Amino acid sequence: MEAIVSLCKRRGFVFPSSEIYGGINGFFDYGPLGAELKKNIRDCWWSDLVRRRDDVVGLESSIIMHPKVWEASGHVAGFTDPLVDCKVSKQRFRADQLFFAPVVVDDQIVGYVSLLETASTAADLQAAAESFKRKKAIQGKLAPVQPRDMTEAKPEEIALIPSPATGEAGSLTPPRAFNMMFQTYVGALRDESAVSYLRPETAQGMFADFKNVVDTGRVKLPFGIAQIGKSFRNEITPRNFIFRSREFEQMEMEYFIHEDADWAQCHREWINWCKDWLKSIGLPDSHLSEYDHPKEKLAFYSKGTTDIMFRYPFGVQELWGIAARGNYDLSQHAQHSGKPLEIFDEVTKKKFTPHVIEPAVGVDRIFLALICAAYAEEDVPDDKGNVEKRTVLRFSPRIAPVKVAVLPLIKNKPELVARAQEIYRRLKRKYAVFYDEGGAIGRRYRRQDEIGTPWCVTIDFETIERDGSFTLRERDSMQQRRITEAELFTLLDEQVY
């Protein structure tokens, strides 16, 4: 992760927000290349889901909605995470990410160890228990640790569990519910009647606008309403770089189906669609897995939730949640607003409230997954055959922030430069292109490798003296071949779609 975070900063993908003022925890800025990469993720999703399908329409709803939306959705009462305070350090932890275990030696509990969730929590807690035993010079046989998180701690255990901040027991509070919605006031008054919220998800926009879309959108069941936009959650512990932040972007869809439709099959189809889409933008199958939420942990209205998980450097974590939510959301809004949100069934001549399948994903989590999967350091021969290190981002051409770099072989040959500029301008009309004439050609290739540019074209003497073709250099194979301008446009057209 360190190498990735540093590359993101160095090459202008991601910066800490407000860095000149010391930063603000849980907020990030996307630099010139990051903004391009993010836009490509959004554009691919929108094209593949909204434009290329006949059964999905788009929406852009407001970020601040009527506060009653969040009462109806259950967010005011229940959008909480369990919070544990450390009274000494004043640090706060998410209880379900703070793990502990009793240290058991010869069947006796001799103390407790704790830590914040890692990629290998159980092994790390075991090591902590061994170290505890060693430091206290306790003799006997240490039992394998049984990790639990703080939501599972018994009241009498809480005082015995050390705080991860201080290493001492006695300062942790029992878990309590912490509402993650950011509050604000709309209008000049600052009283209870003016309280509103920054949306913690985009999904409620699709439910609140359901009737408007049905009345105007020429949609017929089954159909989806999709939206991309910022969401805000006052996360207790934002962490793992942009994986969990307080302001992030979501791409969500509500896919409405008939109440009698086979929801399980539809759910499966959407899980498959999401996985295939992730692969189409370059995430390797080997890093993806599925996690079915256990029935007993689902909300009462939920029929099933499956998360597509990604193997990040800090562990296997949720990337995309696909939930079968029944007709809960529409029914709630119908009840709270007093406006029926139903569809007329032409066959049975009855009205009913559609059910919904909801695939919800974070753009920032996809962004991070793409960089993690694309990042490689490798030994390669330089121009003189010596081995050197190259850092490369193997982005798929679909999402690479720069598609082609145009490089005149040397910069003090006006005809070369003029021809290179001409090609650059023509490519730029359609694609994100980079023009670079500074430094040795090998170094310029490396700079493009590091930002994931799939192709470089070099305008050399053959270009101007012979047939106008130029050298195409491929990022992954580092192979070079001659290519004409028409062939280059065909290549791009096929690969960048």
Residues in touch with ligand ATP (CB under 6 A) = 201, 233, 235, 244-245, 248, 250, 318-321, 360-362, 364-365
How far is 452 from 11, CA to CA, in rounded Å?
11
Q: Please, which residues bridge with residue 289 across strands?
A: 309
Question: 162 or 362: whose CB is closer to ligand ATP?
Answer: 362
With CB atoms as reference, the residue minimizing the distance to ligand ATP is 362
Question: 244 or 311: whose CB is closer to ligand ATP?
Answer: 244
Q: How far is the CB of 312 from ligand ATP (least distance, A)?
A: 12
Q: How far is the CB of 38 from ligand ATP (least distance, A)?
A: 13
H or E stretch at 27: none
Question: 1 or 186: whose CB is closer to ligand ATP?
Answer: 1
Question: 322 or 374: whose CB is closer to ligand ATP?
Answer: 322
Q: How far is the CB of 361 from ligand ATP (least distance, A)?
A: 5
Question: 149 or 201: whose CB is closer to ligand ATP?
Answer: 201
Question: 248 or 375: whose CB is closer to ligand ATP?
Answer: 248
Question: 291 or 489: whose CB is closer to ligand ATP?
Answer: 291
Q: How far is the CB of 367 from ligand ATP (least distance, A)?
A: 10
Q: Please, which residues bridge with residue 345 across strands?
A: 350
Question: 142 or 298: whose CB is closer to ligand ATP?
Answer: 298
Write the CA distances from 71 to 68, 85, 166, 369, integer angstroms.
Answer: 5, 27, 39, 34
How far is 24 from 133, CA to CA, in rounded Å?
39
The number of CA neighbours under 13 Å toward the Cβ of 181 is 25
How far is 408 from 250, CA to CA, in rounded Å?
40
Strand order in the sheet with 80-85: 92-94, 80-85, 176-179
Q: How far is the CB of 186 from ligand ATP (least distance, A)?
A: 24
How far is 66 from 205, CA to CA, in rounded Å?
10
CA proximity to 116, closest of 132, 91, 99, 129? 99
Q: How far is the CB of 308 from ligand ATP (least distance, A)?
A: 8
Q: How far is the CB of 235 from ligand ATP (least distance, A)?
A: 5
Q: Is the dihedral of CA 295, 298, 303, 306 positive or negative?
A: negative
Q: Please, which residues bridge with residue 82 across strands?
A: 177
| Distance between first and last Cα of the chain | 30
With 0-12 / 13-18 / 19 or more C-beta atoms within 10 angstroms meaning exposed / middle / buried, residue 214 is buried
In terms of phi and psi (left: phi > 0; alpha: psi -120 to 50; beta: otherwise), the region of 367 is alpha
H or E stretch at 264: helix 263-280
Question: 13 or 248: whose CB is closer to ligand ATP?
Answer: 248
How far is 368 from 486, CA to CA, in rounded Å?
34
Q: How far is the CB of 42 from ligand ATP (least distance, A)?
A: 14
How far is 169 from 152, CA to CA, in rounded Å?
17
Question: 228 or 374: whose CB is closer to ligand ATP?
Answer: 228
Q: How far is the CB of 2 from ligand ATP (least distance, A)?
A: 20
Q: How far is the CB of 116 from ligand ATP (least distance, A)?
A: 15
CA proximity to 341, closest of 26, 79, 72, 16? 72
Question: 78 or 468: whose CB is closer to ligand ATP?
Answer: 78
Q: How far is the CB of 168 from ligand ATP (least distance, A)?
A: 29
How far is 421 from 413, CA to CA, in rounded Å?
12
How far is 357 from 376, CA to CA, in rounded Å?
37
Question: 94 or 419: whose CB is closer to ligand ATP?
Answer: 94
H or E stretch at 213: helix 210-216
How far is 229 from 204, CA to CA, in rounded Å?
12
Q: How far is the CB of 229 from ligand ATP (least distance, A)?
A: 12
Q: How far is the CB of 436 from ligand ATP (least distance, A)?
A: 33
CA proximity to 248, closest of 256, 239, 257? 239
Q: Is the peptide bond before 222 cis (omega within 30 degrees of 0)?
A: yes
Question: 60 or 262: whose CB is closer to ligand ATP?
Answer: 60
